[in-house]
Structure formats: C-alpha cells, structure tokens
Amino acid sequence: MDFQQSFETINYFAVIVAGLSAFVIGGLWYSVFFAKAWMEENGFDEEKLKNANMAKIFGGSFIFSLIISFVLALFLGPERNAMMGVIAGFMAGLFWVAAAMGITYLFERKSLKLFLINAGYHVVTFMVMGLILGLWK
C-alpha cells in the first residue's frame, strides 16, 4: 500500500462527517432504542449518569470516532465506493470489533444482552461510516 497516495486520496470532510455519524447513531441507539436495557445491564441510574464527566466522555468519543473514520478510509483505499464501504464496515464491525469485544465480555462475565447492544452499535456505526466514506471519495 502506498501510504502517501492513500493520504492524498482521503476526503477529510467525509472523515469528519463519518466521525460525527457515530454521535447521531449513538444518540439514537443509547437513548431511543436501548436506553433502559443498556442502563439496567450496566447498573446505571439517572443520577449516576448525570454525575459523569460529559466533556471527557463526548470529547474522547469524538476523537476516537475520528480515528476510526480516518483509518477506515485508509483501509477502504482510493477505489472505494458505497457498497464496498458498507460491506467492509459490516465486516470490520462484526468480525473485528464485535469479536474482540466478545472476548472481553466473556472474561468480564458481562451479559449477552449488553454485548448485543454495544456490539450492534459498533456494527451499525462502522457500516454507516463506510457508506459515507464510500460515497464521498
């Protein structure tokens, strides 16, 4: 892989949009779709969530999302398209991220329900990021 050429072909606006998409998906995933189940499985209540350092959580999450988006763009390469982005995003999300999380969840003895909620978020997020990066070459 020619990394210099790869860096030159990245649409950095698309990387930012793809990174931001993680927040949109996460906002829906963890508030609208799975809020109650996610809180129960983690042992959280409203008070515990209110006392969190939100700047650290959201700031760090955004930086990690940008890193994921940037490296996914490199991984997809200059010949990427929307379908390739979605398929690669699905495969990376399910077979790398979710599988790695699964190993950790087994050792930490976390529930299957929590695993499915969190891994599902990442699979969907990687697919949407791949779509965005594939559309905006």
Sequence-ordered list of residues with C-beta below 8 angstroms from that of 5, at least 6 positions apart, any chain: 78
Q: Could you tell me the pTM of the whole model? A: 0.92
Q: For the chain, what are the domain ranges?
A: 3-135
Per the CB < 8 A criterion, the answer to whether 133 and 78 are in contact is: no
Sequence-ordered list of residues with C-beta below 8 angstroms from that of 38, at least 6 positions apart, any chain: 30, 44, 114, 117, 118
pLDDT tens track for 52-86? 898 999 999 999 999 999 999 999 999 999 999 99
Structure tokens of 17?
Answer: 């949009």
pLDDT of residue 68: 98
